[in-house]
A and B are shown apart, each in its own frame.
Chain A
Amino acid sequence: MSLAYAVTDSRIMITRCLRRSRRDPEAFFTALMLPIILMLLFVYVFGGELKDSGSYVDYVVPGLIVLCAGFGAGTTAVALAADMAGGIVDRFRSMPIRASSILLGQVAASLTRNLLATALVIGVGLGIGWRPTTSVWHWLGAAAMIVLFILALSWLAAAVGLLAGGPEAANSFTFVLMFLPYVSTAFVPTHTMPAVLRGFAENQPFTPIIETMRGLWMGHTSTGASLGHEAWIAVAYGLGILAVSWAGATWLFRRRSAA
């Protein structure tokens, strides 16, 4: 089986997954509206109270990116779980195609959906007065961080989708991912939290990832640690989650489909 065939197979799978997400009006609408509504909600409803230094929109953009990516990853987990529960994966696997292209299609579609949501968050943020004080290089760095983070999260979602018994079970993953950012520096700095929560918030993976984006865009982090320090931890977390999830998802896929 040549590389060209593998590329074709993956491309067809990606097209299928994207078509499916485009045609699910409820999920599509939510995915588009979520970044906009959350942005307006946080900045105009909570932002007045939370503002301690500068404009709250400057603080909150990385957190919203992470929150929306969490929602998107949940969608991916549900989509893959639904595929595994139906008969179509059996048909694909009985055809002379790369089995890995089935997973690759879901992950690539997830990446595409989430990058669009991220672009929307950034667009709305810029629209309501977010002014990152930064260079092109910092922008590229932030973009790389986002891609790594979303890729890792998409593979994690794939693993969860394969682990879950069905789409409903996979859906609880969305809840976890949408809850975790609240216990990080996404919306408020950790020094406002009680000690127990602070310990968790400062050490969970979302915090260094958010702080890296914040540092790259705004020139300073909210934890007081240096950008270099946060970035190093963030990249380690990103690559770690990516590697473990990729291996896990591949193994689970082979195991589940060979049962």
Chain B
Amino acid sequence: MYAVYRLSMPYTVVAEGIRKSFGGRAVLDGVDLTLERGSVLGLLGPNGAGKTTLVRILATLVRPDGGRATIAGHDLAADPVGVRGVISLTGQYAAVDDVLTGRENLEMMAGLLHLPRRARRARVAELLVEFGLTDAQDRRVGTYSGGMRRRLDLAASMIRCPELLFLDEPTTGLDPRSREQLWHTVRRLAEQAVTILLTTQYLEEADQLADTVAMLTGGRIVARGTPDELKSSLGAEIVRLRFPDVRAFRTALAAGGATRAGAAAGALIAEDADEQALTIDIATDGSATRLRELLTAVAATGAASPRVSTHRPSLDDVFLSLTAAAPSTPEPRRVPEPAP
């Protein structure tokens, strides 16, 4: 089976219709997900979207209520032991032993992977160098900084190069410098063609590291594509209108809502509105025609004249527009797959 997978399967993960409820509340409601060998998939979603649940299911820690998946050719339900043999999990809460030293942690994990004693020593020494932990190897992990703990956690996952590496929110709670260091490490692993499933709530992180981004919200994957594809799905330019006061902001927003309901062409459709900042963001194709239409529509609402600025869409914009729309529109937004 495994040999067949190596030769013929381009996908490391194939998951279909994964469902899971906790106490009657559906956390995952039919998740389909494929992950190509050697690629980095960034799984994005708001807090509580079920990212961690999906990772725990694919890592054999939680049994799904429905659906099926194969990981590197091993069926999740029929052969969980086979799955465990080809994955590594680096969790949200660094799963290392605080009381043991860095080296002892790695030696313990290497032992549990049944590396012969001599190979174990050599591999651990190699990893300590590779992950910049040589100086701290004989200190207890309890004394490590957050960044060092994550690096050790990642090193433990790389003792035996896995077919699939789960990184569940690897930089949550890290300071910007440690985050930068960890990104560097992940990029290096990606260059070695390690297949990575990365969950994160930082859009910048997905933008930096992932080849493909999948947005999980409302228990489903609502969008998938390269970061560039997702951004351009919103249009070429985001126009930001900043209103002088709340009254003008509300007038414009109400008018926008009305036109959206009427689904008129060239309508003022807010992708994101922020009452604190008095801003409304509108996705456009960047053309002068569209901009003129838009400004005419704003003027027609009778709201006091806003300041206008434009920026290229970021993943944040995509994320916000999708998470705002998700509960009422379960239909996935289709983004064309890249040509082979």
Q: Which residues of A contact B (CB under 8 A)?
A: 1, 5, 8-9, 12, 15-16, 19-20, 23-24, 86-88, 90-97, 257-259
Indicate if the CB atoms of A258 and B63 lie closer than 8 Å. Answer: yes
Known A23-B99, A24-B99, A96-B84: A90·B89 in contact at CB below 8 Å: yes
Q: Which single member of A9, A90, A258, A259 contacts B112 (CB below 8 Å)? A: A9
Return chain A residues, CB-CB under 8 Å to B108.
12, 15-16
Name which of B36-44, B54-62, B182-190 contacts chain A.
B54-62
Q: How large is the interface on B (under 10, 10 to 19, 20 to 34, 35 or more residues)?
A: 20 to 34
Query: Complex Cα distance A8/B109, Å?
Result: 12
- In the complex, residue of chain B having the shortest beta-carbon distance to the beta carbon of A23: B99
Indicate if the CB atoms of B111 and A12 lie closer than 8 Å. Answer: yes
Return chain B residues, CB-CB under 8 Å to A92.
112
Query: Complex Cα distance A39/B25, Å?
Result: 56
Indicate if the CB atoms of A258 and B91 lie closer than 8 Å. Answer: no
Return chain A residues, CB-CB under 8 Å to B111.
8, 12
Q: Which single member of A5, A90, A91 contacts B114 (CB below 8 Å)? A: A5
Query: Complex Cα distance A8/B114, Å?
Result: 8
Return chain B residues, CB-CB under 8 Å to A258.
61-63
Indicate if the CB atoms of A20 and B112 lie closer than 8 Å. Answer: no
Looking at the assembled complex, report how far the CB atom of B216 sits from the nearest CB atom of chain A, in whole angstroms.
20
Complex A-B: 28 CB contacts under 8 Å: A1-B81, A8-B112, A9-B112, A12-B112, A20-B97, A20-B100, A86-B93, A87-B91, A87-B92, A87-B95, A88-B96, A88-B97, A90-B61, A90-B91, A91-B96, A91-B109, A92-B112, A93-B60, A93-B61, A94-B59, A94-B84, A94-B87, A94-B88, A95-B109, A96-B84, A96-B85, A96-B113, A258-B63
Chain B CB count within 10 A is highest, among A5, A9, A91, A258, for A91
Indicate if the CB atoms of B61 and A94 lie closer than 8 Å. Answer: yes
Number of A-B pairs, beta carbon distance below 8 Å = 67
Q: Is B49 an interface residue (CB 8 A)?
A: no
Indicate if the CB atoms of A95 and B112 lie closer than 8 Å. Answer: yes
Return chain A residues, CB-CB under 8 Å to B96.
88, 91
Query: Complex Cα distance A93/B56, Å?
Result: 11
Q: Which residues of B contact A (CB under 8 A)?
A: 56, 59-63, 81, 84-85, 87-89, 91-97, 99-100, 104, 108-109, 111-114, 140, 156
Indicate if the CB atoms of A91 and B113 lie closer than 8 Å. Answer: no
Query: Complex Cα distance A90/B96, Å?
Result: 10
Known A5-B114, A94-B61: A19·B95 in contact at CB below 8 Å: no
Looking at the assembled complex, report how far the CB atom of B83 sits from the nearest CB atom of chain A, in whole angstroms.
9
Indicate if the CB atoms of B95 and A88 lie closer than 8 Å. Answer: yes
- Known A8-B112, A257-B61; 18 more pairs at CB < 8 Å: A12-B111, A15-B108, A16-B100, A19-B104, A20-B99, A23-B99, A87-B94, A90-B56, A90-B89, A90-B91, A91-B91, A91-B95, A92-B112, A93-B60, A93-B61, A94-B84, A94-B88, A96-B84
Looking at the assembled complex, report how far the CB atom of A92 sits from the nearest CB atom of chain B, in whole angstroms.
7
Return chain B residues, CB-CB under 8 Å to A23.
99, 140
Query: Complex Cα distance A56/B285, Å?
Result: 93
Query: Complex Cα distance A97/B63, Å?
Result: 18
- In the complex, residue of chain A having the shortest beta-carbon distance to the beta carbon of B82: A96
Q: Which single member of A87, A93, A95 contacts B93 (CB below 8 Å)? A: A87
Indicate if the CB atoms of A16 and B62 lie closer than 8 Å. Answer: no
Query: Complex Cα distance A16/B99, Å?
Result: 9
Query: Complex Cα distance A97/B113, Å?
Result: 8
Query: Complex Cα distance A5/B62, Å?
Result: 24
Query: Complex Cα distance A220/B129, Å?
Result: 65
Known A16-B97, A20-B99: A97·B112 in contact at CB below 8 Å: yes
Chain A CB count within 10 A is highest, among B96, B113, B114, B140, for B114
Query: Complex Cα distance A1/B113, Å?
Result: 12
Return chain A residues, CB-CB under 8 Å to B63.
258
Query: Complex Cα distance A9/B99, Å?
Result: 19
- In the complex, residue of chain B having the shortest beta-carbon distance to the beta carbon of A21: B99
Return chain A residues, CB-CB under 8 Å to B97.
16, 20, 88
- In the complex, residue of chain B having the shortest beta-carbon distance to the beta carbon of A2: B114
Query: Complex Cα distance A20/B89, Å?
Result: 23
Looking at the assembled complex, report how far the CB atom of B238 sits from the nearest CB atom of chain A, in whole angstroms.
39
Q: Which single member of A12, A16, A90, A97 contacts B95 (CB below 8 Å)? A: A90
Indicate if the CB atoms of A259 and B99 lie closer than 8 Å. Answer: no
Return chain A residues, CB-CB under 8 Å to B109.
91, 95
